[in-house]
Structures are given as structure tokens and as C-alpha cells.
């Protein structure tokens, strides 16, 4: 005969308290996002990306003005007035200079490794990375105006001053983790730590190089980023040139028209991050969300560019397609570009820098290959350039859809060392 033991009221209350503590660990309590520490850090990173890319763009915008003003016939503070039509923003050099700055992005992922709850990483990363688009928009829109009215040195004074402010904010606001952050609420600190409990450990372990090189998910990210950067580089370098040569309208003469794709892309990029996190709350698998965002950021954008030669109605239509293509391409911020945080959070900083470095080969190769195709076949050269873009973009996308994953890889998990 079995007897059922009854718990005393004190023991029952103690057990209930323990169960509540376990539930709080397994299901992190939601804390307000507005004016929170983690979103404040995202805004600081947004400003840092803004000034980093803006300084790259203004370097290309003011290059001719600097050369002319340093000639013996020019005065020190010469403006850019009287430059040739295509001198402003010769963006064929922009991707090479931008790719040199892409290495700074990898360091940001070390922050989200310990600051970004998994179900908020899409929006946090998209807020931070969208600063690059706002930097392009601002530099293109007002960089030439400042250079013509005040002189090219003031472009560097103004954007350099913004960079100093961002640097100061970085030193004050950015901390390694929520534990050491002095201005974070207790509820938010517990929320972030409990959300990352299964991913982040305090122990530091070396990167398993051989396992990384054999990892198909890592290679899918690298090749996917490469194919997407081929798309972005072609949009930046050759689409304005295509519109100028086919429709005899130089959109670079109009600062607002040139900057329009970037401000629309800035909005879509941030919205895409919130949409990705919204899908996670609807029980979508993480890898499904990442692949959906990557598909929407690659396939429609490249298809719109391929359709350009078949739309000969007006340059307004072509410019609208360019704007839409540029906007949709930013959805990859919530897809392939933050996938390393999912599969290897403890090594995300290095792997993000490595994937960006691999993809930065695309901006170097695009001008050479596209220029060769245009010189060989003047009649169908543009179609060949756009079809090559579509083929490369589709190949990288298919490889990522087949081999991309979102689970933490075995080589990225904590390994317990035993001593004999």
C-alpha cells in the first residue's frame, strides 16, 4: 500500500517560488524597448555607421574639387563649381573605398553577442546597420552643396565633427556586456542575461579554424554575401551610368534623385528587421525567417535590374525600379548578414569580418568584368552585365538556401576540457 506524502504550506510555497524562478529563466520577461539600454546602443552604432560611410562617400564626392583646388591656378578654399558633369560622385571608386571600411562592421557583432536577445537581434542589427544607408543619403544630398557653397574643406570639418561626437558617444555609452553597464535597469539586465543564457558563456575558447573551413553553413554565408555585394556594387556603380547613357539623363546632377534610393532603403531596412522579429513571435523557425529575408533581399532586386533594358518608356520608370531594387536589397540585413550570430555567437565578430572580407572582393571585380562586357558588345553589353549579375546572385542564393542553417554549430559550442 502506497502512501501519498503531503507538503506543508511552507514547503509548498517554497516549491512554487522555485518553479516561478525556473519559468522566468526559461521564458525571459518582456521589458520595454523604448529608451532601453540595448536600443540606445543600437542608435549609437547607427550613428557610428552613419559617419563611417558618409566619410567614404564625401571622399569620392570631393576628390576632383581637392585636386583642382591644389593646382597652382586654384586657391586653397576652391569650390567644385565648374566641374565636368560626371566628376561629382564618380562612384566607380566608391565600392573599393567602402569595402575597406566594411571591416569595422565585424567588431559590432561582438556587442550583439552579449547584448542582443535572439528574438530581437534582427531589429537591433537592422537599426545599427541602416546607419550606413543614412550616411550615403546625407553625404550625397548635402556633400556637393557644402563643397560648392563653403568649399570642400568644410565637408570634412562638418562630417569629421559628427564623427568626433560619435566617437565620444562610443567611449561613454558602449560597454562589453549588460553586467558592467552602469545605466541599465535591473529588469532589462535580467531579461538580456536570461535570454542569452544558453548561448553566451564567460569562458573564452580558441576558434577551431579547420572546423570553420569545413563548415558549409559558413561558406553559404560567405558566398551569399559575395553575390549580394555583386548586386549592390552594380547598383551603385553602373545603374546611374546606364540611365545616363540610355536616357541621356544624368541623375547624379540631381542630389535628391541620387540620394532617394538610399533613404527609401534606410526605411525598408529598419522595417525589415522588425518584420523578421515579428515572424519569430508567430512561431516561424529562425532559419526560415533568415532565408525569407535573404530571398526578398536578393531575387526581386536582381530581377528588377534585369528588366531595365526591356523598359524603354522613360527614365522615371527606370529610376523608380532602381529605388525599389535598392530598398528591397536591404532586407538581407535581417537575413544572411546576421546569420553568423545564430550559428556561432561566440565567434560572430571574427566570422562576420571574414565573410565581409570575402564579399568585398565583389566590388573590386565588378568594375573590371562589367567594363570588359560593355567594351566587347556595345549593343547588348548592358544586358550581359545585368544577366551576369542575376546569375551570380541566384547562384549564391541557391547555395545559401541549400546549406544555410541557424542552429549553433557543434564547433561553436562550449567545450569542456578534461585533464588526465
pLDDT of residue 70: 60
Q: Quick one: average pLDDT of 152-156?
A: 88
Residue 360's pLDDT band, with cuts at 50, 70 and 90, is confident
Whole-angstrom CA distances from 155 to 80, 149, 313, 420 are 12, 10, 38, 64
Q: Quick one: average pLDDT of 344-353?
A: 86
pLDDT of residue 81: 42
Q: pTM above the 0.85 mark?
A: no
Rounded Cα gap, residues 62 and 90, in angstroms: 10
DSSP string, 158-195: HHHHHHHHHHHHHHHH--SSGGG-TT--HHHHHHHHHH
Q: Quick one: average pLDDT of 318-322?
A: 86
Please write the tens of the pLDDT for every residue from 297-318. 999 999 999 998 887 677 788 8
210-419 is classed CATH 3.30.9.40: no
Please write the tens of the pLDDT for every residue from 100-152. 455 566 677 788 888 988 889 899 999 999 998 999 888 888 887 888 788 88
Q: Quick check: 74 pLDDT over 60? A: no
Please write the tens of the pLDDT for every residue from 175-208. 888 998 998 988 899 899 888 876 655 556 788 8
Domain ranges of the chain: 35-65+98-201, 210-419
Specify which of 90-99, 224-233, 234-243 reaches the highest per-range mean pLDDT. Answer: 224-233
Nearest to 169 by CA among 332, 306, 42, 4: 42
Rounded Cα gap, residues 52 and 56, in angstroms: 7
Can you say whether residue 35 is alpha, beta or left, with left for phi > 0 and alpha for psi between -120 and 50 degrees?
left
Nearest to 316 by CA among 395, 233, 243: 243
Amino acid at each position: 500500500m502506497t502512501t501519498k506524502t503531503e507538503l506543508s504550506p511552507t514547503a509548498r510555497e517554497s516549491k512554487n517560488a522555485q518553479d516561478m524562478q525556473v519559468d522566468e529563466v526559461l521564458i525571459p520577461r518582456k521589458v520595454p524597448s523604448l529608451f532601453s539600454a540595448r536600443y540606445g546602443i543600437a542608435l549609437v552604432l547607427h550613428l557610428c555607421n552613419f559617419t563611417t560611410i558618409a566619410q567614404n562617400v564625401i571622399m569620392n564626392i570631393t576628390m576632383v574639387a581637392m585636386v583642382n583646388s591644389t593646382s597652382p591656378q586654384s586657391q586653397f578654399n576652391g569650390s567644385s563649381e565648374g566641374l565636368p558633369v560626371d566628376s561629382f560622385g564618380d562612384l566607380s571608386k566608391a565600392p573599393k573605398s567602402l569595402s575597406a571600411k566594411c571591416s569595422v562592421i565585424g567588431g559590432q557583432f561582438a556587442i550583439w553577442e552579449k547584448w542582443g536577445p535572439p528574438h530581437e537581434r534582427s531589429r537591433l542589427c537592422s537599426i545599427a546597420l541602416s546607419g550606413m544607408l543614412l550616411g550615403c543619403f546625407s553625404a550625397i544630398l548635402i556633400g556637393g552643396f557644402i563643397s560648392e557653397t563653403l568649399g570642400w574643406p568644410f565637408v570634412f570639418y562638418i562630417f569629421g565633427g559628427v564623427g568626433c561626437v560619435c566617437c565620444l558617444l562610443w567611449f561613454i555609452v558602449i560597454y562589453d556586456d549588460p553586467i558592467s553597464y552602469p545605466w541599465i535597469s535591473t529588469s532589462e539586465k535580467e531579461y538580456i542575461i536570461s535570454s542569452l543564457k544558453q548561448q553566451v558563456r564567460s569562458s573564452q575558447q580558441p576558434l577551431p579554424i579547420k572546423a570553420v573551413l569545413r563548415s558549409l553553413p559558413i561558406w553559404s554565408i560567405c558566398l551569399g554575401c559575395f553575390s549580394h555585394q555583386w548586386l549592390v556594387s552594380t547598383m551603385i556603380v553602373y545603374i546611374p551610368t546606364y540611365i545616363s547613357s540610355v536616357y541621356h539623363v544624368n541623375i547624379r546632377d540631381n542630389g535628391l534623385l541620387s540620394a532617394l534610393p538610399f533613404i527609401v532603403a534606410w526605411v525598408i531596412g529598419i522595417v525589415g528587421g522588425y518584420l523578421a522579429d515579428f515572424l519569430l513571435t508567430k512561431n516561424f523557425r529562425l532559419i526560415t525567417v533568415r532565408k525569407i529575408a535573404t530571398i526578398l533581399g536578393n531575387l526581386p532586386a536582381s530581377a528588377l535590374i534585369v528588366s531595365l533594358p526591356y523598359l524603354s518608356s522613360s527614365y522615371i520608370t527606370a529610376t523608380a525600379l532602381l529605388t525599389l531594387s535598392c530598398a528591397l536589397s536591404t532586407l538581407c540585413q535581417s537575413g544572411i548578414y546576421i546569420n553568423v550570430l545564430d550559428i556561432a555567437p561566440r565567434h560572430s565578430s571574427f566570422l562576420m569580418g571574414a565573410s565581409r572580407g570575402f564579399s568585398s572582393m565583389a566590388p573590386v571585380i565588378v568594375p573590371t568584368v562589367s567594363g570588359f562586357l560593355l567594351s566587347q558588345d556595345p549593343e547588348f553589353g548592358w544586358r550581359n552585365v545585368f544577366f551576369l549579375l542575376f546569375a551570380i546572385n541566384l547562384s549564391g542564393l541557391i547555395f545559401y538556401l541549400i546549406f544555410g542553417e541557424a542552429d549553433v554549430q557543434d564547433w561553436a559550442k562550449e567545450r569542456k576540457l578534461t585533464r588526465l
